[in-house]
Structure 1
Amino acid sequence: DTDGIFQLETSGLTDLMKKLKPSRFEDIIASIALYRPGPMALMDDFVARRHGRQPITYDHPKLEPILKDTYGICIYQEQVMRMASDLAGYSMGQADILRKAMGKKKPEVMAQQRSQFVAGCVKNGIDEKKANELFDMIARFAGYAFNLSHSAAYAMVTYQTAWLKTHYPVEFLAAILSVEKEKSEKVSRYIAEAKRKGIEILPPDVNESDLDFTVVGGKIRFGLGAIKNVGESAISSILEARNARGPFTSLSDFCQRVDTGKVNRKVIECLIRSGAFDSLKLRRAQLWEMLDSALSRGQARKKERESGQLSLFGEEQIETHDPIPEVEEWGLTERLTAEKELLGFYVTGHPLDRYAEEIALHATATTDALERHGDGESVTLGGMITALKEKTTSQGKRMAFFTLEDLYGSTEIVVFSEVLETCIELLRERRGIVVVTGKVQYRNESLDIVAERIVPLEEAHRRRNVWLHLQLDHETMTRERIGALKETLAAHPGAFPVSLHIVRPGHSETIVRLPERFHVTPSDAFREEMIRFLGKQNLQFRPAESGVW
């Protein structure tokens, strides 16, 4: 649970914390100092000594008080300086010169320092051979030792952010989302973290959102400043108008009260498409149709304000509403695509929501829990392709990388040439849902999946012999509704088998497998029609017992 925690967000440091299980502030300080090139090699020893699995040893009794807090391992520059002082009688100024010399490793300077160090050790009762060994040991550590005060300062912020996230998770995530609002990848990451914690993310709202993310009744309200193409000058105009005369009552009211020079057509279009006007209880398609008229009124009002005409009546007494057009709402896919484009994530739903049960028939893992699987472990994921990059290897073979997004996050899939040949067109089309089987791979502190097989969801269903079950209530299935159902099935011909599950409440249930002429292609359009016709709960995908994926 380290998302948003200062210094601990990388998978490597998160893994170190899981192994270390710090119980004191000093452990956090040491972890931050250790997690850098060089001292990383000592992390396993540090963890083992922390938990008593490896003995803590010292090359000389005088080193124990210096290295005791770090389990006998030299981590800090201050420890290097104190070893020089306590063992060889260096002043702190001389010890700092030694530290710098060991960091630069200049032969002539190191030779001079060795001579001084050994002489000082001998003077303090340490024999010459042991003194040389101690100098070599200190030189090894000094090359990468970190400044204790810096690490302690970082650790303090680490502790403070962890404390805030633990005790005030909603406020903490709202604050960090506000800080990172211009970085869509980080916004998506923290939104996913909020959802994992059961914190609801409310969409942007012209009547409630501020510039930044805010806490509203234990939930996080999306900030207007995180909507793409909506600048701070436009937001200032919106907030100023809202603070002056209260919530906006209609799109026309909004356009007449804000400065349409700052809140222009492009800004309002982005507000509509992102759902920021949804609290007006109109469809987004209706608002889109009303925009021309509302903008005309707003621009006319702006001219009146500039000419001083409004002073005759008082602006607060003038309110005009446009007629509401009867138009169908945009499709779910169109609405969600706009949210993703403008907000960086899906707010009012997810394109995969309707596929969740189907993906679960095949998936053995989800992207948010891949770190629970070991290197080389086989997993199956289901989701959609959101990015694709192809390249040619040094051997002249084609390979590809793509991002697979599921309901819980995303991960990178690596596709080598043998697998790529079987699915290149599927990847390039980026349409529909795919099922990926592959092996977990850890490299360079990151995790990805090396694909072994990639197929469309429909193909995965076919391999497992999955059928589409339509549940019907016998009492409501009139001859007309049955005819309409047959027409809908016939309008989407394909190879996917369909069965009817006819229920007579309190009497019987009958399953009828339809003939091949009623097999369908379960496209988004087909699903939307069937959901409207029967309801989502009556549209189910079930595998036959003999099917194998």
Structure 2
Amino acid sequence: MHDQTSGQQDLLAACEPTHSAPTIITAPWTDAVRLQGEKETLGFYLSGHPVNAYLDELLQFVTCRLNALDHIIHKSARLAGIVTHIRIKQTKRGDRIAIFALDDGESSIEVVCFSEPFQKFRSLIVEDKLLVIEGECKLDEFSNQPRITARIIYSLEEARSQFAKSLMITLNDEPQREMSSFQSLLTPYLGGSCLVQFNFLQAGLRASIKLDKKWSIKPLDALLAMLREEMQVEVMY
């Protein structure tokens, strides 16, 4: 009898509900994080290319994509892409130069950065960094492939600050923050050459206000990210 009761107790105990660990909800990966993980794991980008996120913007101020270089041989050009395969060499004179590839997801081009520009821009020459490069495009005499001799190198933020003409902020007919709050938002980014314009859309009507030049800003990534959380923002070149 004792054994039967004990067995029943054990059976009932086995049926008692168990407490599972709480489910942890994490934010989905951004495209940039996913692509970087692919590069670190596989050695290449699988689901896309980092340039794609900025392509519409880049095409407003670069000369061409890297798969369309034939018409710019022996001409100055402005090109953009991700840095890969960096090599640092020392010349017979003891100068240090950098040779690396610039890749935009469609094609790549070899970049040669001689001593003077290398010393000036060396901090920007980092693997997987998006750069904008100005220089002269030539055919390499050995490979017969295009290569660019770098004269000026920009990060994307530097290129945007250099070439952007205006920042257009579109406000729809939904309730929006007061203009005074925009002033406090823009103040840390003042001192650039990019004008700010507001476009108002309400009941099918459109109106625009362009701020005075004293409100010209540096269109940095942090500012654009904050604005894009709530409204439509476009950098005009």
TM-score relative to the length of structure 1: 0.34
Counterpart amino acid of 2:189? P
The 1:364–1:375 alpha-carbon spacing in structure 2 relative to 1, beyond 3 Å, is: closer
The 1:514–1:342 alpha-carbon spacing in structure 2 relative to 1, beyond 3 Å, is: farther
The 1:426–1:483 alpha-carbon spacing in structure 2 relative to 1, beyond 3 Å, is: same
Q: 59, 81, 96: which is aligned to 1:383?
A: 81
Partner of 2:40: 341
Counterpart amino acid of 2:228? I
Q: 152, 156, 160: which is aligned to 1:453?
A: 152
Q: Which one has a bigger Cα radius of gyration?
A: 1
Superposition pairs of residues 353-368 of structure 1, within 5 angstroms: 353-368=52-67
Task: Report the secondary structure of 1:413's partner residue.
Answer: strand
**Residues 328-337 or 390-399, more deviating:** 328-337
Partner of 1:493: 189
The 1:393–1:340 alpha-carbon spacing in structure 2 relative to 1, beyond 3 Å, is: same
CA displacement 1:234-256 (0-9 Å, x = unmatched)? xxxxxxxxxxxxxxxxxxxxxxx
- Whether contact under 8 Å (2:83, 2:127) holds in the other structure is no
Superposition pairs of residues 323-338 of structure 1, within 5 angstroms: 324-338=23-37
CA displacement 1:441-480 (0-9 Å, x = unmatched)? 223224222223323334434443522222221x114347
Partner of 1:413: 111
Counterpart-to-counterpart distance in 2, 1:331 and 1:486: 30
1:533 aligns with 2:230: yes
Task: Report the secondary structure of 1:369's partner residue.
Answer: coil
Counterpart-to-counterpart distance in 1, 2:137 and 2:206: 46
CA displacement 1:144-182 (0-9 Å, x = unmatched)? xxxxxxxxxxxxxxxxxxxxxxxxxxxxxxxxxxxxxxx
Task: Report the secondary structure of 2:228's partner residue.
Answer: helix
Partner of 1:542: 236
Residue 533 of structure 1, CA deviation: 2.1
Counterpart amino acid of 2:207? E
Partner of 1:394: 92
Counterpart-to-counterpart distance in 2, 1:388 and 1:527: 30
Counterpart-to-counterpart distance in 1, 2:176 and 2:95: 59
Partner of 1:502: 200
Counterpart-to-counterpart distance in 2, 1:377 and 1:464: 20
- Whether contact under 8 Å (1:368, 1:408) holds in the other structure is yes
Percent identity reads 27
Residue 408 of structure 1, CA deviation: 1.8
The 1:343–1:324 alpha-carbon spacing in structure 2 relative to 1, beyond 3 Å, is: same
Counterpart-to-counterpart distance in 1, 2:191 and 2:58: 19
Residue 396 of structure 1, CA deviation: 1.9
Task: Report the secondary structure of 1:337's partner residue.
Answer: helix
1:439 aligns with 2:144: no
Residue 362 of structure 1, CA deviation: 1.9
Normalized per residue, the structure richer in helix is: 1
Counterpart amino acid of 1:378? S
Give the gaps of 5 or more residues in structure 2: 1-19
Counterpart-to-counterpart distance in 1, 2:30 and 2:57: 21
Partner of 1:152: none
Counterpart-to-counterpart distance in 2, 1:465 and 1:401: 29
Off by >6 Å, runs of 4+ in structure 1:
none
Partner of 1:143: none
- Whether contact under 8 Å (1:438, 1:453) holds in the other structure is no
- Whether contact under 8 Å (1:379, 1:440) holds in the other structure is no
Counterpart-to-counterpart distance in 2, 1:527 and 1:418: 33
CA displacement 1:484-517 (0-9 Å, x = unmatched)? 7566545x63644333222235323213326756
The 1:526–1:346 alpha-carbon spacing in structure 2 relative to 1, beyond 3 Å, is: farther
Residue 326 of structure 1, CA deviation: 2.6
The 1:380–1:374 alpha-carbon spacing in structure 2 relative to 1, beyond 3 Å, is: closer
Counterpart-to-counterpart distance in 2, 1:374 and 1:517: 37
- Whether contact under 8 Å (2:197, 2:208) holds in the other structure is no
Counterpart-to-counterpart distance in 1, 2:44 and 2:76: 29
Residue 337 of structure 1, CA deviation: 0.7
Q: Which has the higher contact order (CA 8 A, sep 6+)?
A: 2
| RMSD of Structure 2 on Structure 1 (CA) | 3.2
Residue 322 of structure 1, CA deviation: 7.2
CA displacement 1:9-49 (0-9 Å, x = unmatched)? xxxxxxxxxxxxxxxxxxxxxxxxxxxxxxxxxxxxxxxxx
The 1:375–1:429 alpha-carbon spacing in structure 2 relative to 1, beyond 3 Å, is: closer
CA displacement 1:328-384 (0-9 Å, x = unmatched)? 2334322221122234443444322332122112211212223x2464233321123
TM-score relative to the length of structure 2: 0.72
